[in-house]
Amino acid sequence: MTGGSDVETGSRDPDALVRRAGARGNPDRDQHFLVDDRVLDRIPTYLPESADRSHVLEVGGGAGALTDRLLAAAPADGSVTVIERDPTYASFLREEFEAEITEGTLTVIEADALECELPAFTACVSNLPYGVSSELAFRLLPAKRPLVLTFQREFAERMVAEPNTAEYGRLSVSAQHYADVELLEVVPPEAFDPQPAVESAIVRATPREPAYTVDDEAFFLRFVKALFTQRRKTVRNAIRNTAHISGLDDPAAVVSAVDETTLSKRPGELSPAGFAELAAVAAEHGVVSGGGE
C-alpha cells in the first residue's frame, strides 16, 4: 500500500482510496463506501453552524474518503476519531493517514462501535452501516451532540416522520425526543462502491431539550416501543395488550386514568409530547416494574 502522507488533506480521490485499500467493500458486511466527491464535500458542511467541531467522531471509516474531508474541515486545533471494525480497513487507515495520526489530528480505533466505549466527541459525522443503523443511532442520540448521519432512505424517512403518516413510529418518536431531525439530501446508489440496492439519505440531528418533561426516560422509550407493537389498535387496547413489554403491573388502572379522546386514538396519531403525557399517567397509575423485551 502507498501511504498518504504526501497527499494534501481533503484532496484524496475516493476511488483511488478504495483501490489503495486493496479490498473492495463487502455488501454482506454493510460495506458501501461513499465515493461521490460532491456528496463527500457537502457532508461536513451539514453540521449546524453552532456545532463544536473540535473533536469529530466518524463511525465506520472504511477506505477513508469521508475521513479525509472531515480532517480538511476540522479547525486548527481540531481532531477526528474514526471507529472501524474491519481489521483490513483499520490497518489501511493507519497507513494512509500516518501523517495525520503522527500530528495528533486523527485517531483510529479498531473496534465495533456497538460494543466499545465511545470516545468523547463534540459532533459525529458518519456513513453508518445499514444493518445496525438503529442500534448506532441510539448510541449516539443520547450523547446530545450534533449528528450528520447517512442512512438507508427508508430509515431516514421514518426518523423525520410526522404523526398521522405511514412512516411515523417508534423510531420517529424516539429520535425526535432527543433532537430536531432533518432529512437533508437523498443519495443515489451510484454514489457508493459497491452500490447498495436502495437509496440513502443524509440526516442532521440537532440536539435540544424536548418541550415536555420525562421523569423516567427508560420507561418512556419502553412505553413508546410497546404501544407501537400495536399500532393498528386503539391506545386503550395497546396499553392493555403490551403490559409485558412496558412493565405495567396494572394496565387497567392506566386505562381508567386516561381521557377517552386519547384512548380512542391509535399510537400513530400521538405526538412525542402526547406520548410523554400518556407515559407519565401510565407510570403514576400502572405501578411500573422492570418491563420486558
Report the binding-site residues for S-adenosyl-L-methionine: 32, 34, 60, 84, 112, 127
Interior angle at CA 277, CA 144 and CA 158, nearest 5: 55
For residues 146 and 107, give the distance between their C-alpha atoms in angstroms, rounded to a whole number: 20
Question: Quick one: residue 64, left, alpha or beta (phi over 0 = left, psi -120 to 50 = alpha)?
Answer: left
At 192, phi and psi to the nearest 5? -120, 155
For residues 97 and 91, give the distance between their C-alpha atoms in angstroms, rounded to a whole number: 10
For residues 55 and 119, give the distance between their C-alpha atoms in angstroms, rounded to a whole number: 10
Interior angle at CA 176, CA 217 and CA 44, nearest 5: 120
For residues 268 and 230, give the distance between their C-alpha atoms in angstroms, rounded to a whole number: 10
Length of the chain in terms of residues written: 293
Three-class DSSP category at 128 = coil
For residues 159 and 216, give the distance between their C-alpha atoms in angstroms, rounded to a whole number: 22
Mark the binding-site residues, compressed into ranges. Answer: 32, 34, 60, 84, 112, 127
Residue of 252, 113, 238 whose CA lies nearest to 169 = 238
Scan for cell 472531515, then name that residue: 70
